[in-house]
Structure 1
Amino acid sequence: MTGSAALLRGIDLAAFAVALVTRARRAGVDVSASGAARFTEALRVLPPTDRRRLYWTARVSLVGRHSDIERFDAVFAAVFDDAVLALDPAARASVSNTSRTRADGRSGDGGASAGPRRRAAPPWATLDDAAAPVPDRSADDGATAVTLRLPSPLEAIADEPFGQLRDDDLRLLGRWLEQTEPNWPRRPSRRREPHRHGRVDLRATIRRARGTGFEPVRLVRCRPRERPRRIVLLCDVSRSMHGYADVYVHLMRAAVVRGNAEVFAFSTHLTRLTPVLAHRSADVAVARASERVVDRFGGTHIAGSLAALLSSPHGSALRGAVVIVASDGWDSDEPADLARAVARIRRRAHRVVWLNPRAAAPGFEPAAGPMAAALPHCDHFLSAHTIATLGEMLTTVARSAGVARARDSGEG
Structure 2
Amino acid sequence: MSDRPVPPVPEDGKLAANITHFARALRKAGLRVGPGRVIGAIRAVEAAGFGDRRDFYWTLHAAFVSRPEERAVFAQTFRLFWRDPRYLEQMMSLLLPSIRGNQEERRAAAAERRAAAALLDGMIPEGVEPPPAPEEELQIEGDASGTASGEERLRTLDFEQMTPSEMAEARRMIAGLRLPVPPLLSRRTAPVARGPIADWRRTIALSVRRGGEIGTLATRRRRDRPPNLVVLCDISGSMSHYSRMVLHFLHAVANARGAGGWARVHAFTFGTRLTNITRHLARRDVDEALAAAGAEAQDWQGGTRIGACLHAFNRDWSRRVMGQGAVVLLITDGLDRDPPDDLAREMERLHLASRRLVWINPLLRWQGFAPRARGIAAMLPHVDTLIAGHSVASLAALGAALSTAAGSGERDRLLALPRG
Which of the numbers 189, 203, 224 marks the counterpart of 2:222?
Answer: 224
Residue identity opposite 2:236 in structure 1: S
Residue identity opposite 2:357 in structure 1: V
**Using the alignment, how far apart are the partners of 2:194 and 2:310 within structure 1?**
42
Residue identity opposite 2:300 in structure 1: R
**Using the alignment, how far apart are the partners of 2:202 and 2:208 within structure 1?**
10
Q: In the TM superposition, what is the alpha-carbon distance from 1:274 to its structure 2 partner?
A: 0.3
- The answer to whether the Cα contact below 8 Å between 1:231 and 1:255 also exists between their aligned partners in 2 is no
**Using the alignment, how far apart are the partners of 2:194 and 2:266 within structure 1?**
34
State the TM-score, normalizing by the size of structure 1: 0.54
Which of the numbers 247, 250, 271 marks the counterpart of 2:248?
Answer: 250
- The answer to whether the Cα contact below 8 Å between 1:346 and 1:378 also exists between their aligned partners in 2 is yes
SS in 1 for 2:224: strand
Which of the numbers 382, 398, 401 marks the counterpart of 1:396?
Answer: 401
Q: In the TM superposition, what is the alpha-carbon distance from 1:206 to its structure 2 partner?
A: 4.1
Which residue is equivalent to 1:293?
A: 297
Inter-CA distance 158–370: structure 2 relative to 1 (3 Å threshold): same
Inter-CA distance 222–392: structure 2 relative to 1 (3 Å threshold): farther
**Using the alignment, how far apart are the partners of 1:190 and 1:155 within structure 2?**
44
Q: In the TM superposition, what is the alpha-carbon distance from 1:210 to its structure 2 partner?
A: 4.8
Query: Considering only aligned residues, what root-mean-square deviation do their CA atoms show, in Å?
Result: 2.6
**Using the alignment, how far apart are the partners of 1:156 and 1:205 within structure 2?**
61
**Using the alignment, how far apart are the partners of 2:347 and 2:388 within structure 1?**
18
**Using the alignment, how far apart are the partners of 1:230 and 1:355 within structure 2?**
18
Which residue is equivalent to 1:12?
A: none
- 1:384-411 CA-partner distances (Å, limit 9, x unpaired): 333333232222224439xxxxxxxxxx
Which residue is equivalent to 2:357?
A: 352
Higher helix share: 2
In structure 2, the gaps of 5 or more residues are 1-149, 407-420
**Using the alignment, how far apart are the partners of 2:405 and 2:252 within structure 1?**
19
In structure 1, the gaps of 5 or more residues are 1-152, 402-412
Q: In the TM superposition, what is the alpha-carbon distance from 1:290 to its structure 2 partner?
A: 2.0
**Using the alignment, how far apart are the partners of 1:250 and 1:364 within structure 2?**
27
SS in 2 for 1:198: coil
Inter-CA distance 235–197: structure 2 relative to 1 (3 Å threshold): farther
Which residue is equivalent to 2:168?
A: 167
Inter-CA distance 315–371: structure 2 relative to 1 (3 Å threshold): farther
Which residue is equivalent to 1:387?
A: 392
Which residue is equivalent to 2:236?
A: 238
**Using the alignment, how far apart are the partners of 2:389 and 2:345 within structure 1?**
25
Which residue is equivalent to 1:336?
A: 341
Q: How many residues align?
A: 245
Which residue is equivalent to 2:322?
A: 318
In the TM superposition, 1:164-203 aligns within 5 A as: 164=162, 165-177=166-178, 180=179, 183-195=180-192, 198-202=195-199, 203=201
Inter-CA distance 363–278: structure 2 relative to 1 (3 Å threshold): same
Q: In the TM superposition, what is the alpha-carbon distance from 1:352 to its structure 2 partner?
A: 1.5
Residue identity opposite 1:169 in structure 2: A
Which residue is equivalent to 2:137?
A: none
Inter-CA distance 371–189: structure 2 relative to 1 (3 Å threshold): same
- 1:347-381 CA-partner distances (Å, limit 9, x unpaired): 22222111112113211122211111111111111
SS in 1 for 2:399: helix
Q: In the TM superposition, what is the alpha-carbon distance from 1:155 to its structure 2 partner?
A: 5.2
Residue identity opposite 1:297 in structure 2: Q
- 1:165-215 CA-partner distances (Å, limit 9, x unpaired): 4123213312333xx4xx135323333234466313423444445566655
- The answer to whether the Cα contact below 8 Å between 1:238 and 1:266 also exists between their aligned partners in 2 is yes
- The answer to whether the Cα contact below 8 Å between 1:256 and 1:274 also exists between their aligned partners in 2 is no
Which residue is equivalent to 1:378?
A: 383
Residue identity opposite 2:238 in structure 1: S
Larger deviation, residues 187-196 vs 357-366: 187-196
Residue identity opposite 1:234 in structure 2: L
Inter-CA distance 296–189: structure 2 relative to 1 (3 Å threshold): same
SS in 1 for 2:156: coil
**Using the alignment, how far apart are the partners of 2:189 and 2:311 within structure 1?**
37
SS in 1 for 2:196: strand
**Using the alignment, how far apart are the partners of 2:214 and 2:396 within structure 1?**
47
Which residue is equivalent to 1:46?
A: none
